[in-house]
């Protein structure tokens, strides 16, 4: 091969690199490891992580994963392929993305969905930019204080560089007030309004009149939701949202210390050409067969270059496949059942905690599978006591606890938590 | 592959009442969701038994082509083999079950891995710190540019809003700059594919005080090393700008040259390219951003936690498996493979810039332009022979770009097989052009109607049903 290429040594391949910047040392890296040694090292690192029974949420939930999903996800035709540019040998990917888009549109009650995004927080930031790009010279976006601070931080980052002005709408009694939104809308220049459902306290808010108020001022209404919750909760579509975003991690994806997850973005048909990210559409091939293909690419960054309003190149395809297979297995009934179990478990835990006399719900509002309680003792000490008992006792938030319960938590686990909390 | 028998959508396999899940019974008593917070209609999701779901997705996978299926010379994408041990490590329950809000003392092993990976990437790039928050290459670009923007802002240098990119740059570079609120200035390329240094000097002389950064890949999108990189870096630094390295083409630099030594201040790495994590049909990737000492305080918050953590685990397993002994062979072997294909085909395919390339190179279509056979046709005909197509019509510098990147993993036998087929297609273009122009013939579907899809978008099953009424 070297003869064909016309070099005598591998070094000769790099004669064009100025000698002064050639790297000639050894990299400061460990020596090569066999598979067994790699396993041993990862095993050792793994043993330094504490395995806890999870009652934490805050955007990431410990849901059940059907065994089919990770098994099929390892099919290497899915795993080791790239973006489906060559439709003739990528129907597998294109087909499941079409299914994914269909399912997310059903779940959110919206017309259409893109092919997925990185995660919920960046999907929300993209929605923020989309409202500004869709508007005419409007540069202000209203954000409910009910939005998870982690999401808000990402929004703040994107807004700073984009020159978008974010205005926080404070909560009253734990929920966003339409009057506060109306007041800010009346000041003019508002491109979008972003709320979260359920909000950061787990409260299911009432958005009656929100969409109308937004549309009257030509602003877009954005709802950020945990995907699994929408199996039962009133949908963004029903609330009149223009854009629905959020994280799909709750659809069975393991928590894996923060990622990969999958962000979703759905919108009304009217906005399809403003939506960032890839979209798969149906078409025909030259043999008159139904086929799927990447479509509406004129919206995308590689065509628009510096005129782009998003730089998203790909989707989070494998994770979109994950949730598509999850939803195929769980189906209409299974998703509802899991949601009902989560709801029941959370309300049972809440009731039991209140019975101890040491906890109080911060807000008298409906909640789904996560809730915010205050504790009459030292919260940090209790949190540590939970951990010593092998429990991740929710998330310490403000002056209390955010507890989340999924269908994975048993009655015994909940009773055990309550026992420790009552000490 | 079988499209005829298994071309249904999962929705079309749904039968009311079928169940593919198993959940425990409710043992919490009577907690009913209040109707006023509930959706009126159920989501119309499919109802299928487990076997139906398993067969459906197994058969879908059969309609796909991956690196594990065959040779995947997709230029600029670095489709290297994804070792299975990496998958095994990423699935370890001691990591998979960690909630990202767990307190630090309960995730010591997980945090230690981040530090170890960061140290490795620093050693390989010559930079001082990395953030792992970015989820993908484009996200990394944006993060790196935000870091640069934050740096200039911190110095009160508020007029630096321009980013210089070569005209050969990938479309994502200008798009990332736009999302960061920056403006693009294009610098021309010379006939030899390199940045026109004189044009760059002119830009710097005219707009030096407004330059935030220069953004480059090296080797560039033609697979050519920018030999004047030290001078370019000096020029940009002297005008007060920073140098941004797009890590898309880092692979051939392993064992050859480090971005930090070239004079770059900020860079991103595509772990899904250079560090062998699977592309997954288009994600999840990971785009960690590295900087010189001092710039780490300007990292923006672009995601809530440690980015795509499980992808990082795979990359670290790969680095450990290679070790310092083998990692330095990655670049040279990838470069040898690319040059071998280039030299073996340049008599039948048009090679616009005939020089030693790095990991990839670009043909400008077939040498014989009389056949009417285009790059698109060659790409489609390759599918018939069981190969993935190269990247086509990119870079935009040539009309018939055909960009080939073999990676270091492929054996001489694989390369020879590919070369023989490429020659065969060149021959067919002369003897039977219609055969090539109507390709592919052996794939589950033929060429698709892109115009129909865009003109009348049907993107959900609900829309599809409405069509059929």
Side-chain-facing half-sphere of A325: CA atoms under 13 Å? 32
Q: Which two tokens stand for residue A18?
A: 């100025």
CB contact under 8 A, B109 and A82: no
Please answer whether residues A247 and A125 qualify as being in contact, where contact means their C-beta atoms are separated by less than 8 angstroms. Answer: no
Over the stretch A194-244, which tens digit does the pLDDT of each residue have? 999 999 999 999 999 999 999 999 999 999 999 999 999 999 999 999 999
Write out chain B residues lying below 8 Å of A72, CB-based.
54, 57-58, 61
Chain A CA closest to residue B413: A1
Mean pLDDT calculated for residue range A313-337:
96
pLDDT at residue B4 in the model: 57
Q: What's this model's pTM, rounded to 2 decimal places? A: 0.97
Tell me the CATH number of domain B328-451, given options 3.30.70.930, 3.40.1440.10, 3.90.1150.10, 3.40.190.290.
3.90.1150.10
Please answer whether residues B268 and B134 qualify as being in contact, where contact means their C-beta atoms are separated by less than 8 angstroms. Answer: yes
Q: Buried (b) or exposed (e) across B377-401, using 16+ Cβ within 10 A?
A: bbbbbbbbbebbbbbbebbebbebb
Q: Distance between alpha carbon A45 and the CA centroid of its chain, in Å?
A: 27
Over the stretch B175-216, which tens digit does the pLDDT of each residue have? 999 999 999 999 999 988 899 999 999 999 999 999 999 999
pLDDT at residue B84 in the model: 97
CA distance B459 to B457: 6
Sequence ranges of chain B with CATH classification 3.40.640.10: 84-323
Write out chain A residues lying below 8 Å of B322, CB-based.
32
Cα distances (Å, whole numbers) of residue A9 to A2, A3, B253, B409, B411: 7, 10, 16, 19, 18
How does residue A307 score in pLDDT terms, banded at 50, 70 and 90? confident
Query: Hey, what domains does chain A have and what are their CATH numbers?
Result: 53-65+332-422 (3.90.1150.10), 68-325 (3.40.640.10)
- Pick from B54, B63, B68: CB nearest A76: B68
pLDDT at residue B442 in the model: 94
CB contact under 8 A, A306 and B175: yes
Q: Distance between alpha carbon A149 and the CA centroid of its chain, in Å?
A: 14
- Longest Cα separation, chain B: 78
CA distance B340 to chain A (A): 6
* More confidently predicted of A78 and A304: A78
Write out chain A residues lying below 8 Å of B64, CB-based.
77-78, 81, 89-93
Dump strand ranges (E) for A97-242: 112-113, 140-144, 165-169, 171-172, 175-176, 190-197, 220-225
Write out chain A residues lying below 8 Å of B68, CB-based.
76-77, 79-80
Does A67 lie at the interface with B, CB-CB under 8 angstroms?
Answer: no
pLDDT at residue B210 in the model: 97
Over the stretch A375-392, which tens digit does the pLDDT of each residue have? 999 999 999 999 999 999
Mean pLDDT calculated for residue range B277-288:
96
Does A232 lie at the interface with B, CB-CB under 8 angstroms?
Answer: yes
CB contact under 8 A, B301 and A122: no
CB contact under 8 A, B141 and A13: no
pLDDT at residue B303 tops 90: yes
CB contact under 8 A, A32 and B322: yes
Please answer whether residues A166 and A141 qualify as being in contact, where contact means their C-beta atoms are separated by less than 8 angstroms. Answer: yes
- CA pseudo-torsion sign A65, A69, A71, A75: negative
> What residues are paired with B434 via a beta bridge?
none
Share of chain B above pLDDT 70, in %: 99
The DSSP code sequence of B194-212 is SB-HHHHHHHHHHHGGGEE
Mean pLDDT calculated for residue range A84-96:
95
pLDDT at residue B388 tops 50: yes
Dihedrals phi, psi of A401, to nearest 5 degrees: -125, 140
How many other C-beta atoms can be found within 10 angstroms of the C-beta atom of residue B30?
7
DSSP B180: T
Please answer whether residues B266 and B244 qualify as being in contact, where contact means their C-beta atoms are separated by less than 8 angstroms. Answer: yes
> What residues are paired with A403 via a beta bridge?
A371
CA distance A26 to A402: 50
The order of strands in the sheet holding A370-375 is: A359-361, A370-375, A400-404, A395-397
CA distance A11 to B356: 12
pLDDT at residue A299 tops 80: no
pLDDT at residue B6 in the model: 63
Q: Which two tokens stand for residue B366?
A: 């077939």
Over the stretch A56-75, which tens digit does the pLDDT of each residue have? 999 999 999 999 999 999 99
A and B: number of Cβ contacts within 8 A:
619
Local structure of A284: helix, strand or coil: strand
The DSSP code sequence of B49-68 is -HHHHHHHHHHHHHTB--TT
pLDDT at residue A302 tops 90: no
Please give the mean pLDDT across all residues of chain B.
Answer: 96
Write out chain A residues lying below 8 Å of B300, CB-based.
157, 160-161
Over the stretch B41-75, which tens digit does the pLDDT of each residue have? 999 999 999 999 999 999 999 999 999 999 999 99
- Pick from B46, B69, B301: CB nearest A331: B46
- Pick from B96, B178, B340: CB nearest A254: B96
CA distance B297 to chain A (A): 14
Q: Spell out the alpha helix ranges (H) of A83-119.
A: 91-108
Q: Which two tokens stand for residue B427?
A: 């021959």
CB contact under 8 A, A311 and B142: yes
Give me the interface pTM, i.e. the ipTM: 0.97
Tell me the CATH number of domain B84-323, given options 3.40.640.10, 3.20.20.80, 3.20.20.70, 2.60.40.420.
3.40.640.10
> Residues 6 or more apart from A138 whose CB is under 8 A from it?
A132, A189, A190, A191, A218, A219
pLDDT at residue B1 in the model: 45
Sequence ranges of chain B with CATH classification 3.90.1150.10: 328-451
Please answer whether residues A190 and A219 qualify as being in contact, where contact means their C-beta atoms are separated by less than 8 angstroms. Answer: yes
Which of A54, A67, A102, A343 would you mutate first to test chain B, the one with the most B CBs within 10 A?
Answer: A102
The vertex-B215 CA angle with B251 and B204, nearest 5°, equals 140
pLDDT at residue B101 tops 60: yes
CB contact under 8 A, A314 and B285: yes
Range with lowest mean pLDDT among A189-193, B168-172, B287-291, B443-447: B168-172
- CA pseudo-torsion sign A406, A408, A409, A410: positive
How does residue B170 score in pLDDT terms, banded at 50, 70 and 90? confident
Pairing of strands B162-166, B211-216: parallel
Which of A19, A22, A29 would you mutate first to test chain B, the one with the most B CBs within 10 A?
Answer: A29
Does A270 lie at the interface with B, CB-CB under 8 angstroms?
Answer: no
Pairing of strands B289-291, B266-269: antiparallel
């Amino acid at each position: 091969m070297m003869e064909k290429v016309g070099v005598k040594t591998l070094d000769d391949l790099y004669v064009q690199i100025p000698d002064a910047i050639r790297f000639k040392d050894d990299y400061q890296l460990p020596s090569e490891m066999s598979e067994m040694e790699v396993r041993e090292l990862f095993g050792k690192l793994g043993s330094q992580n504490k395995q806890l029974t999870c009652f934490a949420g805050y955007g990431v939930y410990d849901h059940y994963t059907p065994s089919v999903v990770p098994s099929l996800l390892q099919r290497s035709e899915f795993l080791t392929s790239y973006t489906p540019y060559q439709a003739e040998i990528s129907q597998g990917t294109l087909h499941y993305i079409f299914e994914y888009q269909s399912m997310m549109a059903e779940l959110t009650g919206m017309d259409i969905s893109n092919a997925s995004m990185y995660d919920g927080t960046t999907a929300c930031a993209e929605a923020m930019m989309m409202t500004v790009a869709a508007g005419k010279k409007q540069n202000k976006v209203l954000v409910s204080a009910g939005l998870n601070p982690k999401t808000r931080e990402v929004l703040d980052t994107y807004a700073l560089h984009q020159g978008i002005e974010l205005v926080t709408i404070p909560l009253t009694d734990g929920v966003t007030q339409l009057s506060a939104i109306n007041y800010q809308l009346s000041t003019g220049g508002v491109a979008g309004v972003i709320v979260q459902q359920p909000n950061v306290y787990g409260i299911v808010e009432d958005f009656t009149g929100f969409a109308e108020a937004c549309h009257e001022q030509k602003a877009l209404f954005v709802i950020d939701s945990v995907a699994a919750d929408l199996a039962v909760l009133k949908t963004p579509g029903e609330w009149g949202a223009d854009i629905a975003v959020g994280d799909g991690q709750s659809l069975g994806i393991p928590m894996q210390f923060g990622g990969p997850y999958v962000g979703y973005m759905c919108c009304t048909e009217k906005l399809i050409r403003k939506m960032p990210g890839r979209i798969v559409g149906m078409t025909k091939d030259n043999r008159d067969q139904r086929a799927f293909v990447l479509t509406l690419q004129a919206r995308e960054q590689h065509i628009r270059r510096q005129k782009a309003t998003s730089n998203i190149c790909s989707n989070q395809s494998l994770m979109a496949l994950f949730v598509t297979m999850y939803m195929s297995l769980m189906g209409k009934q299974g998703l509802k059942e899991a949601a009902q179990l989560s709801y029941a478990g959370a309300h049972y835990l809440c009731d039991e905690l209140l019975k101890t006399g040491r906890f109080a719900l911060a807000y008298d509002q409906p909640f789904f599978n996560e809730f915010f309680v205050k504790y009459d003792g030292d919260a940090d000490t209790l949190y540590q006591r939970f951990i010593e008992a092998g429990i991740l006792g929710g998330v310490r938030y403000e002056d209390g606890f955010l507890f989340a319960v999924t269908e994975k938590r048993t009655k015994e686990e909940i009773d055990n938590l309550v026992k420790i909390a009552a000490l | 592959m079988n499209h005829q028998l298994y071309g249904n959508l999962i929705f079309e396999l749904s039968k009311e009442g079928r169940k593919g899940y198993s959940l425990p019974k409710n043992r919490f008593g009577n907690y009913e969701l209040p109707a006023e917070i509930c959706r009126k209609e159920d989501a119309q999701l499919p109802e299928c038994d487990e076997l139906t779901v398993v067969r459906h997705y197994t058969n879908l996978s059969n309609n796909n082509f991956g690196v594990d299926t065959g040779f995947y010379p997709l230029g600029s994408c670095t489709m290297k083999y994804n070792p299975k041990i990496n998958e095994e490590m990423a699935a370890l329950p001691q990591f998979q079950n960690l909630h990202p809000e767990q307190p630090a003392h309960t995730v010591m092993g997980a945090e230690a891995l981040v530090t170890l990976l960061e140290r490795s990437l620093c050693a390989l790039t010559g930079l001082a710190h990395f953030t792992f928050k970015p989820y993908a290459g484009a996200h990394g670009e944006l993060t790196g540019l935000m870091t640069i923007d934050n740096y200039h802002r911190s110095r009160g240098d508020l007029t630096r809003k321009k980013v210089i990119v070569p005209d050969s740059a990938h479309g994502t570079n200008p798009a990332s700059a736009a999302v960061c609120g920056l403006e693009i200035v294009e610098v021309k390329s010379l006939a030899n594919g390199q940045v026109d240094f004189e044009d760059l000097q002119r830009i710097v002389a005219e707009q030096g005080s407004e330059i935030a950064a220069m953004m480059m890949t090296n080797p560039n999108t033609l697979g050519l090393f920018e030999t004047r990189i030290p001078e370019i870096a000096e020029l940009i630094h002297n005008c007060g700008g920073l140098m941004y390295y797009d890590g898309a083409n880092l692979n051939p630099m392993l064992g050859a040259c480090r971005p930090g030594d070239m004079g770059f201040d900020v860079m991103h790495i595509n772990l899904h390219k250079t560090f062998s994590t699977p592309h997954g049909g288009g994600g999840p990737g990971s785009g960690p951003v590295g900087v010189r000492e001092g710039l780490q305080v300007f990292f923006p918050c672009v995601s809530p936690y440690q980015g795509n953590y499980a992808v990082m685990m795979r990359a670290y397993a790969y680095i450990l498996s290679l070790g310092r002994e083998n990692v330095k062979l990655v670049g040279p072997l990838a470069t040898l493979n690319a040059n071998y294909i280039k030299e073996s085909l340049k008599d039948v395919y048009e090679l616009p810039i005939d020089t030693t390339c790095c990991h990839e190179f670009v043909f400008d279509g077939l040498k014989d332009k009389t056949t009417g056979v285009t790059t698109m046709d060659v790409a489609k005909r390759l599918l018939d022979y069981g190969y993935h197509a190269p990247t086509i019509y990119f870079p935009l510098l040539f009309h018939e770009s055909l960009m080939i990147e073999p990676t270091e993993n492929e054996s001489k036998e694989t390369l020879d097989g590919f070369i023989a087929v490429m020659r065969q297609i060149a021959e067919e273009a002369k003897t039977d052009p219609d055969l090539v122009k109507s390709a592919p013939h052996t794939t589950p579907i033929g060429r698709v109607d892109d115009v129909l899809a865009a003109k009348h978008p049907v993107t959900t099953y609900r829309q599809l049903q409405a069509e059929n009424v």
